[in-house]
């Protein structure tokens, strides 16, 4: 089958399509959902895809029917421990964070981040410290390693197998990895740090805040990465930093685009492929379509807080339900918790909704979202204005982008009441500017030379054909910090200027003295 697909793509495409062997480093959560779409496309084009599958996982479902080759490995952490960690993180974000002081929050955050590091390293151990697996990987003759740099060690694997490396992700906290390791320029005066909730138009105080944010995130990253540095140094047997290994990646596929990002400088090996998972809406299930049609001219509101949030307090769900009951639209709410008592007749609860198909439905008027990147991209793709109820992680910052673009309003999950939610919904649905801005974002999203999925696939194939993309690597990787900022050059130039000024000054002084002397003797004689 694969050979036939390969032959077909050879004849259909103008350029020679070489079919390669692609190795996928394990990844989790929404990261895996995005990656899977790219993998399926690569398979359709005749490539062979091998996924490293851990025995412990949460969302990384790889079915036997998936057609990927699979290489299994064992982890020191169990699936239960992973779920417990996720629960802890969710519980912290949804029930604890509003009750703690800043010091407690930072300490808890550090504790969670350390656990996350340990989780990352247990993938490393499971793969790199299994000699049998490494042997099989070496014999696998791979052409590229594809991974999400949120999970460490894929760069070690790529180096050991001597194959190029492609990263695909959304961002690292404060863009620390992109800036410090990949060398992407980020002037703090107009590039807000990721998760800072700032925009590119900053006041003086905001620029101070942004600078402090960058500096603190860099320090935080350096402290956390020390664990990785030690692991890398020990494994490779030479002093190695995590950052320098990240910097060796050939291509970075970033899962956003200029519909979402603020304009900023980037590098030739950074490709922006946000929205690659979006597709035109498909037919809804029959009963759902009937419910949607019953909304008449008022249309519908789609509501989902993502796949991770399973439950909320009874009073919260009642508060939300009573706001939804007061709007003329029909509401489709994805929620698996207990049914709220105040649920109106216009609201239906579902365990699961075909979110993309609903957002693409002509009757959809608004989307209530937690602000995950995938959901936001579906809303951008279909041009639907949003009401954000961000909870944790990148969600508040994502929603800040959408507010700045004029396509959303945002609620505070902890303090909002029925009236706030009602006002928010009415604002995005009655003020035409939200619909216009959303439609504009959608046009900008679609109007590009290559579709994001095709672009991602192109660059992965490019790296396979050309054995890497080192010609896109900036020389900044080989400079010291003072060379990068031209401090040595400035020092040199300032020294020269000082010397010249000094000599000029001395010469002038001398000339003036002589003149003065001469005129004084002259006047004396007279
Ligand atoms: C994983 O562990 C199981 C039993 O604990 C063992 O049978 C299996 O061979 C291990 N797999 C690998 C890839 O080491
Ligand atoms: C930037 O923000 C200032 C005030 O915060 C505003 O006056 C100005 O119009 C904004 N500029 C742009 C281009 O939006
Ligand atoms: C949701 O949480 C409540 C307590 O906060 C609990 O009683 C209920 O069983 C939970 N429901 C689900 C579906 O997890």
Which of 443, 444, 446 has the alpha carbon at shortest distance from 263?
444
Report whether residue 338 contacts ligand 3, using a CB cutoff of 6 Å: yes
Question: Which atom of ligand 1 is nearest the CA belonging to 55?
Answer: 1
Report whether residue 87 contacts ligand 3, using a CB cutoff of 6 Å: no
Residue 496 in any domain: the answer is no
Beta-carbon count within 10 A of 338 CB: 11
Residue 253 in any domain: the answer is yes
Report whether residue 205 contacts ligand 2, using a CB cutoff of 6 Å: no
pTM of the model: 0.89
User: Mapping DSSP to helix (H, G, I), strand (E, B) and coil, where does residue 199 land?
Assistant: coil
Widest Cα–Cα separation across the chain: 118
Report whether residue 203 contacts ligand 2, using a CB cutoff of 6 Å: yes
User: Mapping DSSP to helix (H, G, I), strand (E, B) and coil, where does residue 50 land?
Assistant: strand
Domain that holds residue 378: 286-446
Please state, in angstroms and rounded to a whole number, the distance separating the CA atoms of residues 131 and 173.
Answer: 33
Same domain, 194 and 263: yes
Same domain, 316 and 238: no
Same domain, 190 and 318: no
Residue 506 in any domain: the answer is no
214 vs 146, 196, 257, 331, 397, CA distance in Å? 28, 9, 22, 41, 15
Centre of ligand 2 to C-alpha 259, Å, is: 19
Residue 14 in any domain: the answer is no
Same domain, 367 and 471: no
Question: Which atom of ligand 2 is nearest the CA belonging to 203?
Answer: 5
pLDDT of residue 519: 80
- Which residue's alpha carbon is at the smallest distance from atom 7 of ligand 3? 338
- Which residue's alpha carbon is at the smallest distance from atom 2 of ligand 3? 311
DSSP state, 92? I
Report whether residue 201 contacts ligand 2, using a CB cutoff of 6 Å: yes
Same domain, 193 and 76: yes
Same domain, 115 and 150: yes
Which of 126, 113, 134, 154 has the alpha carbon at shortest distance from 57?
126
Same domain, 136 and 210: yes
Question: Which atom of ligand 1 is nearest the CA belonging to 130?
Answer: 14
Question: Which atom of ligand 2 is nearest the CA belonging to 201?
Answer: 1
Which ligand is nearest the CA of 338, by number?
Answer: 3
Same domain, 116 and 41: yes
Same domain, 266 and 122: yes
Residue 492 in any domain: the answer is no
Residue 521 in any domain: the answer is no
DSSP state, 351? S
CATH number at 460 reads 3.40.50.2000
Please state, in angstroms and rounded to a whole number, the distance separating the CA atoms of residues 375 and 90.
Answer: 18
For residue 263, is it left (φ>0), alpha (ψ between -120 and 50) or beta?
A: beta
Centre of ligand 2 to C-alpha 458, Å, is: 38
> Looking at the 3D structure of the chain, how many domains does it have?
2
Please state, in angstroms and rounded to a whole number, the distance separating the CA atoms of residues 360 and 383.
Answer: 8
Angle 395-404/373-382 helices, nearest 10 degrees?
20
Tally of CA atoms within 13 A in the half-sphere of 196 that contains its CB: 25
Which of 482, 481, 485, 463 has the alpha carbon at shortest distance from 472?
463
Same domain, 303 and 271: no
Which ligand is nearest the CA of 52, by number?
Answer: 1
Which ligand is nearest the CA of 199, by number?
Answer: 2
Residue 501 in any domain: the answer is no
pLDDT in tens, the chain (526 residues): 555 655 555 555 544 456 899 999 998 877 888 888 899 999 999 999 999 999 888 877 777 667 788 899 999 888 898 889 888 888 887 777 778 888 888 888 888 888 888 989 999 999 999 989 999 999 999 999 999 998 999 999 999 999 999 999 988 877 889 999 999 999 999 999 988 899 999 999 999 999 999 999 899 899 889 999 999 999 999 999 999 999 999 999 999 999 999 999 999 999 999 999 999 999 999 999 999 999 999 999 999 998 777 778 899 999 999 999 999 999 999 999 889 999 999 999 999 999 999 999 999 999 999 999 999 999 999 999 999 999 888 899 999 999 999 999 999 998 999 999 999 999 999 999 999 999 999 999 999 999 999 999 999 999 999 999 999 999 999 999 999 999 999 999 999 999 999 999 999 988 888 888 888 777 766 6
Which of 170, 174, 137 has the alpha carbon at shortest distance from 156?
137
Same domain, 106 and 223: yes
Which ligand is nearest the CA of 78, by number?
Answer: 1
Which of 306, 257, 208 has the alpha carbon at shortest distance from 453?
257
Centre of ligand 1 to C-alpha 118, Å, is: 21
Same domain, 45 and 187: yes
pLDDT of residue 103: 86
Residue 343 in any domain: the answer is yes
- Which residue's alpha carbon is at the smallest distance from atom 13 of ligand 2? 201
DSSP state, 185? -
């Amino acid at each position: 089958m694969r050979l036939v697909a390969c032959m077909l793509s050879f004849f259909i495409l103008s350029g020679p399509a070489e079919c390669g062997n692609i190795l996928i480093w394990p990844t989790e959560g929404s990261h895996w959902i995005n990656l899977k779409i790219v993998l399926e496309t690569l398979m359709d084009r005749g490539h062979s895809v091998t996924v490293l599958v851990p025995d412990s996982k949460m969302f990384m479902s790889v079915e036997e029917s998936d057609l990927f080759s699979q290489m299994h490995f064992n982890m020191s952490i169990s699936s239960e421990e992973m779920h417990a960690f996720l629960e802890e993180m969710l519980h912290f974000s949804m029930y604890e964070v509003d009750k703690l002081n800043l010091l407690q929050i930072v300490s808890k955050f550090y504790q969670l981040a350390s656990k996350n590091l340990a989780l990352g390293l247990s993938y490393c151990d499971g793969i790199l410290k299994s000699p049998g697996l490494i042997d099989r990987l070496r014999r696998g003759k791979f052409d590229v390693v594809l991974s999400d740099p949120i999970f460490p060690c894929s760069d070690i694997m790529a180096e050991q197998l001597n194959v190029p490396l492609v990263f695909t992700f959304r961002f690292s906290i404060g863009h620390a990895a992109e800036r410090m390791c990949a060398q992407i320029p980020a002037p703090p005066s107009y590039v807000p740090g990721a998760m800072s909730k700032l925009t590119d138009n900053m006041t003086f105080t905001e620029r101070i805040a942004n600078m402090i944010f960058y500096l603190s995130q860099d320090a935080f990253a350096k402290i956390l990465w020390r664990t990785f540095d030690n692991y890398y140094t020990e494994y490779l047997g030479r002093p190695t930093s995590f950052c320098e290994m990240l910097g060796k990646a050939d291509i970075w596929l970033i899962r956003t685009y200029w519909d979402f990002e603020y304009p900023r400088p980037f590098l030739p090996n950074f490709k922006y492929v946000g929205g690659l998972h979006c597709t035109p809406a498909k037919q809804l299930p029959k009963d759902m379509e009937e419910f949607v049609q019953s909304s008449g001219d008022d249309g519908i509101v789609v509501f989902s807080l993502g796949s991770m949030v399973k439950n909320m307090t009874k009073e919260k769900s009642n508060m939300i339900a009573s706001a939804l009951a007061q709007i003329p639209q029909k509401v489709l709410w994805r929620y698996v918790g207990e049914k709220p008592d105040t649920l109106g007749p216009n609201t239906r609860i579902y365990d699961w909704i075909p979110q993309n198909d609903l957002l693409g439905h002509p009757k959809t008027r608004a989307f209530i979202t937690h602000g995950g990147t995938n959901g936001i991209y579906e809303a951008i793709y279909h041009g639907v204005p949003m009401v954000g109820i961000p909870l944790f992680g990148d969600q508040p910052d994502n929603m800040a982008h959408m507010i700045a673009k004029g396509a959303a309003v945002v609620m505070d999950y902890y303090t909002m009441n029925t009236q706030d939610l009602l006002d928010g919904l009415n604002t995005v649905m009655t003020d035409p500017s939200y619909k216009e801005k959303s439609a504009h974002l959608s046009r900008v999203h679609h109007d590009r030379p290559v579709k994001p999925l095709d672009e991602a696939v192109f660059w992965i194939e490019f790296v396979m054909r050309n054995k890497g993309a080192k010609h896109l690597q900036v020389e900044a990787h080989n400079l010291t910090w003072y060379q990068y900022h031209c401090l040595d050059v400035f020092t040199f130039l300032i020294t020269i200027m000082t010397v010249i000024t000094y000599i000029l000054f001395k010469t002038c002084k001398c000339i003036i003295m002589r003149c003065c002397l001469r005129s004084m003797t002259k006047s004396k004689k007279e």
